[in-house]
Homo-oligomer: A and B are copies of this chain.
C-alpha cells in the first residue's frame, strides 16, 4: 500500500488526513486502553502526553465479537490498535478496567485500599498479544471489610484527576471524588492515596426499575430532561426518604395515579429520587465522621450531562463546590504509564499530564 505521507503538498483532504495520521504515528509514545464491560476506548499519545488519536469500539469484555475462548481479546485489540501498531510496533501499551478482571484477558489481582499510584504500578500484570505487543494491565482496588468494595478503571481515572493538582496544599488535603454512572463510586483521596470508597448501584438500579418494574409502564421519555421533576425527586429523597428507597420509588407511580406527575415527568423524578438517595446515603456516612456534603470541595468524573445532574443534586445538599474534571481517563492512563516507566515524558508532559 502506497504511503500517503510520501506525497508532499497533498491536494485532497483524504491525503491530508492520512499524512497527519502518519506524522502522528512517528510521534507515538504510548497506546492506552480504557477497556470496560461494554466498550473499549483506545488513546494514542505523543511523548508530551498529548492525545494524538482515539479509537472507540463496543468490544467490551462482555461484548467481544468473537468470544474470549476464540481469541476475542486479541481480535478486539487488533481491531482497535492494529493500524497504530503496524507503523509503531515498539510503542508500549497500557490498559485499565474490566480487562484485568477474572473475566478479562488476564487477571490483575486487586491491590488493597488505601492504594497509591505506586501500588497500582507494582500490581501491573503483563499479557502478550498475538501481534507481539505486550499489554500492561493496571489492577483494580479492593477495600476489605464486612461490606467489601471494588473498583476497576475508576482508580486510574482518580489518579488522572489528582494528576492535575499543582499545589502541595491540595494534594495533602482530603478530597472526595465522585464518579457517577452504572455503579457510581465515591472515593476519599488523601496524600495521593485512595483511602476508602463506596459503590452505589444507582445507574443500574434505575435501568432495572424503569425497564423491568411497574414504574416503567407509565413512563414516557420527555423531549428534554425535566429539571423540575428531577429536583422534586432529589428533595423527596432528602427530606422524606426515611422509609428508604424501596418505599419512595412507589411514589413515581402514585403521583401519576393521582394526577400530580405526568408520564413525561416520571423518568426524571425517579432519577432524582435515586440520586437523592445516593447522596443522602453518602451524607449519612460523612455524618458518622463529623463531616457533611456541604463542607466538601469535591470533584466529579464522568459523562458531562450526568455530572451536571449530580452538581444540581449536590447543591440541594448544600454542596456548591463540585468541580467537573475532564479527560481524567486518558490523563490517568498516561500518569500510571509514566510512573511505571513505560514512557519518559518530555518536559511539556508535566503540564499535559
Contact = CB atoms under 8 A, between A and B. Distances in A.
Contacts of A214: 204
A250 B201 contact: yes
A212 interface: yes
A10 interface: no
Contacts of A240: 146-147
A183 interface: yes
A183 B278 contact: no
A144 B251 CA distance: 11
- Give the size range of A's interface with the partner: 35 or more
A198 interface: yes
A interface: dominant SS = helix
B147 A200 contact: no
Interface string A280-306: 111011001000000000000000000
Interface string A188-219: 00000000001111101101110111110000
A277 B198 contact: no
A346 interface: no
Contacts of A266: none
Interface string A213-248: 111000000000000000000001000101111111
A255 interface: yes
B250 A149 contact: yes
